[in-house]
Structure 1
Amino acid sequence: MTTPTPGAPAASDKLDGAVLKIASVVVLGAIMSILDVTVVSVALPTFMAEFDTTYATVAWTMTAYTLALATVIPVTGWAADRFGTKRLYMSALVLFVAGSVLCSMAWDIQSLIGFRVLQGLGGGMLMPLGMTIMTRAAGPHRVGRVMAVLGIPMLLGPICGPILGGWLIEAASWHWIFLINLPIGIIALTAAFMLLPQDKPSPSESFDFLGMLLLSPGLALFLFGVSSIPETGTVASARVLVSAGIGLVLIIAFVFHALRKDHPLIDLRLFKNRNLTIAVTTSSLFVVAFMGAGLLFPSYFLQVRGETTLAAGLLLAPQGIGAMLTMPIAGNLVDKIGPGKIVMFGVALIAIGMGVFTQVGAETSYVLLLGSLFVMGLGMGCTMMPIMTAAMQTLTDHTVARGSTLMNIVQQVAGSIGTATMSVVLTNQMLDRGLDNMKIMSQHVPEVVAAEPPGTSDSILSAAADAFGNTFMVALVLLLLTLIPAFLLPRRKPVAPAEGESAAPMMMH
């Protein structure tokens, strides 16, 4: 059976021209999808003013996108097998770009939230499909280098998103944070048509409709409940408990269903692969800690230091620079010595940088803060993609799509839990210090200070900084817990699965 794999022979470890062309297409799509999460984050105050609504309401422009991502990801693995990765990837690009254009034409906050759902349905398929296309093209022996390439948009998104969003809003209008996707999308679509290999879909497996009816709504309801915690201020509210509870029941029901069905929507029997299980556990803890903390860095610069959105985005740049320095090196080493030692080294570096932020004050030196972000970036380049590599290296061609889908779902859920956790901790820390929640969420702390009697500004800024420091401490503890499963990751060069080997041994042994 022929496969659409233009990879080099096993003897060559370098990514050849054909694979790099495919990588350029995949990276373009991934950049659009990931950028869109962070670009919108800096536009929330603008949406509040433009549509005359509250922070809690405009925050759903981000949450709706996340929920749509989580809902569509489970279907991606089956659809890739059924329709082929190239056709599905191009369809996802069209859906994403159409949603982006509609978002730019939104007439009220409700329409914007609705169009963000449409955008998320397309965006949710781009990353798992990209991972599948790249892994098939390069072959198992070069997965580390492939993941390093795919890590570029995952790093650039959180760094460039706030900078790009702040600049577009200041230079033009909020509409352009969505319209920017139109020219990029057209280029990506043209490149996908010309450069992606023709694939031969294998529609032998029937679609698991019951699995979809259980898992997709289950994930959406669970994440809706978790995402409502910052707005309600407590886990004990009916909105959180009912939504998350029903979602959890549906997810548990799916687990029982998937373990009994021959071709489930998500193949949970992949967890019988020890390396994948350890990698998923490590990834979950890491994403909860790091993605949650990622929310705090720009907020500190905006709220405590009174920086503009553009300046706050620029101040995060050292993190991206550090990651770009170590990611290619880590990707090369993973294919030679395994991911275990590299991941533990990366987590240790991030912990050192995070430790500085646990002691942050209202006037902490920017040199110290930016240096810490740079060190954390160095660690990030050694962490996220090597963890993904540990999971993907042992998967056979047939299980790559299912494995990448599984990893993406876990990361999406973990990211939502991390963001909600840090939001709740920070809000409660602020309230414990007598700082009004709505003021903090809708404007910078220095502006709150201006309304206070003379002589109280230092104490307010100091209290706000302490709240951030204590929240960073929670993130640091979660990060250190990541070292436990990371210790069990492979520490030697992986043995690639035999060519043409079926997925069955992987699922059953």
Structure 2
Amino acid sequence: MTASGAQSPPAADPTDPTDPADPDRIDPALRRLTFTLIIGALAVMFDATIMSVAIDDLAGRMHASVSTVQWVSTAYLLALATVMPAVGWLQAALGGKRLWIAALGVFFVGSLLCAAAWNAPSLIAFRVVQGFGGGIMMVLMTTLIMQAAKGRNIGRVMALITVPAALGPVLGPVLGGVILHLGDWRWIFLFNVPFCVVGAFLAARDLPRDRPVSRPRLDVVGMLLLSPGVAAVIYGLSRIGGSRGPADPAVWLPLLAGLALLLGYVGWALRRGPRALVDIRLFRHRALASSSVLVFLSGASLYGTMLLLPLYWQQVRGADALGAALLLIPQGVGTLVSRSLAGRYMDRFGARPVAVVACALACAATLPFAFVTASTDNVVLMAVLFVRGVGLGGAMTTILGAAYIGLAPEEIPQGSGISRLAQQIGGSAGTALLVMILQRASADAHTPAALASGFGDAFRWATAFTAAAVPLCLLLPGRPADPPAREPERDAASAGDSAAV
């Protein structure tokens, strides 16, 4: 107490993620942590989106078939899926800072190896190394930031976390087109190096030290069931685009095997409880359960249409890879514009109303592509893409953020893994289904008009994925509860006790 009898203001808590002067404002320390992690994560996001426009070009430069070079992406996705379930255990065993720097180092080494690849098989093998590092980083970034946020201002925090996901589709395809147009394909992977180096330096300097408090035992049985199960499902889905579709044994055999492994894991995890690799009892949290379903559907819509849109402009309109990428910029700009606004409204009104509006907007802006022709005005399509980006940005911010509402700090790592796995499987399923629909609808198409009709069929399914998410958004948490008011009498008594001490 001061000499005049006035009570001194309480000391600021350095671990509080909010600004004491403005509880709705994110603390600069949390912003710095987020910025540090985003720098490294940009390498992963740019790598994935740049590769999306490089497959055909790589096939020609490596004198390999497109089906062979397609494994450059498939192997990466399988590596991501394999390592994601183990990230929670790895963080508990090594600590977040050590694991982040190690994962960044693995991705860095994988990028250098990819740039040094001498043929398609070597590039595919080195992409697996990249995938292991990238899979850890995708889960761990969200975990570390959400743990630091301590459940406060989840919407605003998620708006920051999704910066790489928003920037990747905007800049990645354009950068890929420029690199392939002006330089050697190896620069696709060397482009990652500065982000890895700067990201590792910032992480070593800025990330808090969090030595592991225990040495948890790895759930070996769970690992042998869950990781191969997810990988087998994604592999089977990736093969649906083949000539025989789902009837091909290369599709249904891995799908059945993967589903059997996943069912086996469910039984094992229910018996093992919290000691399981991923505690599926976390689905008792309605927010996480509903968010996971919505992340699956939004992943199917987002990743599926990310494939369809550039193909439409390339195959129907005759644009090159760079031209198609430039036409997609409005969607990325819309995503960037809506993130912070959606996060602010989520913290104020809850995830439910914001997600409903955002998903409905994304659905409405996907529908016009179901009626595209070979001569639809590009200006109109770009305007629609901007609106679609606004909806997608708002939807992803609120849906991903809702998964963490109500989770205890020790549950966040596994919650992050569940959310990312749902997104990966949903993206693979959506892409596979839309590719199959497009192939069948345009099998006998020999004119731009007929090809456009095939794309319209695929876009109608993409619209249906988004429409299915709208009513499910009603299951998300509503308006957040107001913080309890402080009682003056209790505060005065506490102040008196402190003064007496």
| TM-score, normalisation: structure 2 | 0.91
Match of 2:380 among 368, 372, 385: 368
Once the two structures are superposed, the pairs formed by residues 278-427 of structure 1 within 5 Å of their partners are: 278-427=290-439
Give the drift of 1:494: 5.1
When residues 326 and 88 of structure 1 are mapped into structure 2, their CA distance, relative to the original with a 3 A threshold, is same
Identity %: 37
Structure 2 CA distance for partners of 1:381 and 1:359, relative to 1, 3 Å: same
Query: What is the alpha-carbon distance in structure 1 between the residues aligned to residue 405 and residue 154 of structure 2?
Result: 6
Are 2:31 and 1:20 equivalent residues in the alignment? yes
Contact between 2:19 and 2:26, CA under 8 Å: does it hold in 1? no
Partner of 2:67: 56
From 67, 89, 95, the equivalent of 1:84 is 95
Deviations 1:58-77 (A, max 9, x none): 11111111110000000001
Task: Note the alpha carbon deviations across 1:19-67, whole angstroms, 9 max, x for none.
Answer: 1111111112222112211111211122111121211111111111111
Contact 1:233 1:424 in 2 (8 A): no
Distance 1:496 1:231 in 2: 55
Q: Which residue pairs with 1:7 in the alignment?
A: 17
- Could you tell me how far 1:200 is from its partner in structure 2? 2.9
Q: Which has the larger radius of gyration?
A: 2
Partner AA of 1:306 in structure 2: G
Q: Is the 8 A contact 1:393 1:494 kept in 2?
A: no
Give the alignment partner of residue 450 of structure 2, picking from 460, 463, 467.
463
Report the Cα distance in structure 1 between the residues aligned to 2:168 and 2:482, rounded to whole angstroms.
32
Alpha-carbon deviations, 1:74-130, whole Å to 9, x = none? 000111112111100100000001001100111110000000011000000111100
User: Where do residues 171-182 of structure 1 align in structure 2 (5 Å cutoff)?
Assistant: 171-182=182-193
Q: Which runs of 4+ in 1 moved over 4 A?
A: 3-6, 494-497
Measured on the aligned residues, the alpha-carbon RMSD in Å equals 1.7
Counterparts in 2 of 1:430 and 1:26: CA distance versus 1, 3 Å: same
The alpha-carbon distance between structure 1 residues 56 and 4, as it changes in their structure 2 partners (threshold 3 A), is farther
CA distance in 1, matches of 2:180, 2:252: 37
1:189-240: CA deviation from partner (whole Å, max 9, x where unpaired): 0000001111132325321011001111111111111111112431011111
Deviates more, 1:470-479 or 1:279-288: 279-288
Aligned to 2:105: 94
Which position in structure 2 is the counterpart of 1:233? Answer: 244
Aligned partners of 1:394 and 1:495 also within 8 Å:
no
Segment of structure 1 superposing worse, 372-381 or 225-234: 225-234
What CA distance in whole angstroms lies between the structure 2 residues aligned with 1:307 and 1:366? 12
Given candidates 114, 121, 137, the residue that maps to 2:132 is 121
**Aligned-pair distance for 1:282?**
1.6
Q: How far apart are residue 183 of structure 1 and its match?
A: 1.4
How many pairs align? 470
Q: What CA distance in whole angstroms lies between the structure 2 residues aligned with 1:413 and 1:430?
A: 26
Determine whether 1:66 maps to 2:77.
Answer: yes
Structure 1 distance, partners of 2:57, 2:303, is 23
CA contact (8 A) 1:140 1:496 kept: no
Tell me, in whole angstroms, the C-alpha distance in 1 between the residues paired with 2:137 and 2:162.
14
Distance 1:156 1:495, change over 3 A: same
Residue number in structure 2 paired with 1:222 = 233
Alignment partner of 1:354: what SS? helix
Distance 1:203 1:421, change over 3 A: same
Question: How far did 1:8 drift?
Answer: 3.1
For 1:157, the equivalent position in structure 2 comes to 168
Unpaired runs of at least 5, structure 1: 436-459, 498-509
